[in-house]
Amino acid sequence: MADSGPDIDTLLAGFPRARFLNWVTPLEVLPRLSQRLGIALSVKRDDLTGLAFGGNKVRKLEFYFGKAQSLGADTVLITGAVQSNYVRVVAACAAKLGMQCHVQLEDRVAGRDDIYRSSGNVLLDDLLGAVVHHYPHGEDEEGADRRLNEIAAELKAKGRRPYVIPLSPNNPPLGSLGYIACAQELLRQAEFDHLVLGSGSGLTHAGLLFGLRLQGWRGRVTGICVRRSATAQAPRIAGHCARLSEMLGVPNPVAASDIELRDQVLAPGYGLLNPQVAEAIHLAATLEGLLVEPVYTGRALAGLIEAREAGAIDADSRVVFLHTGGLPALFGYEKELRQQVLSKAGPL
C-alpha cells in the first residue's frame, strides 16, 4: 500500500512532452505461471504501448521528443545495438512527428548471422525511414555518443537542427520521467508486494523505483541485469535517481538499500541466450501464450524465476513482472530459438 506523496502530474508538468501513449497499459494475471512458481504473478503489458510494436521506449521518448520539439529540432539522432528496440521506436516517433531520424547501430553482440543484421528491428528501422550509421564497438558508450555528436555537427553544418538522445549515464535521465508516471499508473491498478524488471540503461528501473518510493510504496523492486553486472549497474541506478531528484526539485526517496539487482542469469552476456533464458521464453509461450524475447524480457523473466527458486521472492507474494516489449528482436534470433527453445519436447 502506498501513502500519499507529491502529485506526480504536477511534478512532470514542467517538462515538455510529446504524447505518444494515450491509454493505460493492462495488468494481466498469469495463472499458470503463478501456480508453477508459487506466487501471485501479474504482468504489466508495456509491450502494448502501441507505436511501431510498442515497448517501454515509448514512455521514455515522450520526454525526449518533447525536449527536441521545444528546441525547434527537425532531426533526431540515437545510438544503440543492431537489434535495438530504442532505435526502432525513435525512428517511429520521428516519422510520426515529421522529423528526420539518424540511427547509429553498434556491434554489441559478437558472432551474429545475416538474419540478425537484416531482420527484426533492423528491417523496421529501414521501413520507418531512418538513416542508418554504424559504430564498430559495442561497449563504448562515451565513444558512441561522441560519434553521434559528430554526425549531429555535420548535419547542423548542412542546415539541419539536430537533437541527440544520449546513451551514456552522465546525462539528465529524461526518459526516466516516463516511468515515474508509470509508477503512478501501476499503483492505481493493483496492490502488489514486489516488482521485477530488466535493468539495462537503467532509465526504466530508476524511474519506477523513484516514482514508487516518491508515492510512499515500500515494496521491493528487483532489477534483472541484462547488460552489465549488478556491481556495475548499481551506481548507474543510484546516479539516475540522484539526477531525478535534482531535476524534479524533491528529496531523493531512494536509499542505497532500495536498489536490488540480480545478475545470476546474465552470462554469457548481453543479447546471448543461455538455458535459463531459453526456458523462460518456452514457459511464457507454452503456459500463458505470452511472448518474451532473448535480450530483455526473456532474461528478466528468467531472473524472476531464478530469484523465486533461490528464495529471493517469497512464496505467495504478489509480484508484477514488467513486460518492456522488444518482440521484433525475436526474428533476429531464429537460429538460436529453433535450437534452444523449439527443440524442447512439447508444452510443459
Which pLDDT tens digit goes with each residue over 261-303? 999 999 999 999 999 999 999 999 999 999 999 999 999 999 9
> Environment class of residue 218 by beta-carbon count within 10 Å: exposed (0-12), middle (13-18) or buried (19+)?
exposed
In this prediction the pTM is 0.94
Query: 72 in a domain, yes or no?
Result: yes
- Clarify whether 176 is annotated catalytic: no
| Averaged pLDDT, 62-68 | 98
Give the pLDDT of residue 347.
Answer: 46
User: In this structure, are 321 and 198 located in the same domain?
Assistant: yes
Residue 200 in contact with residue 56, Cβ under 8 Å?
no
Residue where one domain finishes, among candidates 131, 165, 199: 165
CA angle centred on 175, ends 46 and 76, rounded to 5°: 105
Can you read off the three cell numbers belonging to residue 145? Answer: 555518443
Same domain, 332 and 229: yes
**Distance of alpha carbon 107 from alpha carbon 221, whole angstroms:** 31
Predicted local confidence at residue 1, as pLDDT: 55
CA 265 to each of CA 262, 268, 302, 306: distance values in angstroms, whole numbers, following the listed order: 8, 8, 7, 8
Output the pLDDT for position 36.
Answer: 97
pLDDT score of 330 more than 80 = yes
Q: What is the pLDDT of residue 348?
A: 46
**CATH code of the domain covering residue 105:** 3.40.50.1100
Q: Tell me the average pLDDT of the chain.
A: 94
| Angle made by CA atoms 58, 64, 70, in degrees to the nearest 5 | 130
The Cα 63–Cα 162 span in angstroms is 16
Task: Using the predicted structure, report yes or no on whether residue 53 has a pLDDT greater than 80.
Answer: yes
Checking DSSP bridges between strand 162-165 and strand 75-81, what pairing results, if any? parallel
- Please check whether residue 345 lies inside any domain of the structure: no
Q: Are 84 and 132 in contact, with CB atoms under 8 Å apart? A: no
Residue 106 zone, left/alpha/beta (φ > 0; ψ -120 to 50; rest) = beta
The verdict on residue 102 lying in a domain is yes
Percent of the chain with pLDDT strictly greater than 90: 87
Q: List, in sequence order, every residue forming a beta bridge with 81; answer none if it has no partner.
A: 106
Residues 150 and 179 in one domain: no
In what side-by-side order are the strands of the sheet with 194-199?
A: 27-29, 40-45, 318-323, 194-199, 220-225, 260-262
| 196-209 b/e (C-beta count within 10 Å ≥ 16 → b) | bbbbbbbbbbbbbb
Catalytic residue among 34, 42, 84, 119: 84
* Same domain, yes or no: 221 and 333: yes
Residue 174 has pLDDT above 70, yes or no: yes
Same domain as 26, residue 70: no
Is 90 exceeded by the pLDDT of residue 114?
no
**Residue 1 domain flag:** no
In this predicted structure, the answer to whether residue 139 has a pLDDT above a threshold of 50 is yes
CA distance 47 to 31: 19
In this structure, the answer to whether residues 225 and 270 fall within a common structural domain is: yes
Shared-domain flag, residues 33 and 116: no
- Asked whether the predicted pLDDT for residue 23 surpasses 90, the reply is yes
pLDDT one-digit tens code per residue, 233-252? 999 999 999 999 999 999 99
| Same domain, yes or no: 246 and 108 | no
Q: What mean pLDDT is predicted for residues 107-116?
A: 85
Note whether residue 275 is domain-resident.
Answer: yes
Q: How many domains is the chain built from?
A: 2
Q: In terms of residue numbers, what domain contains 230?
A: 8-55+172-340
Mean pLDDT for 29-52 is 98
Q: What is the mean pLDDT of residues 187-212?
A: 97
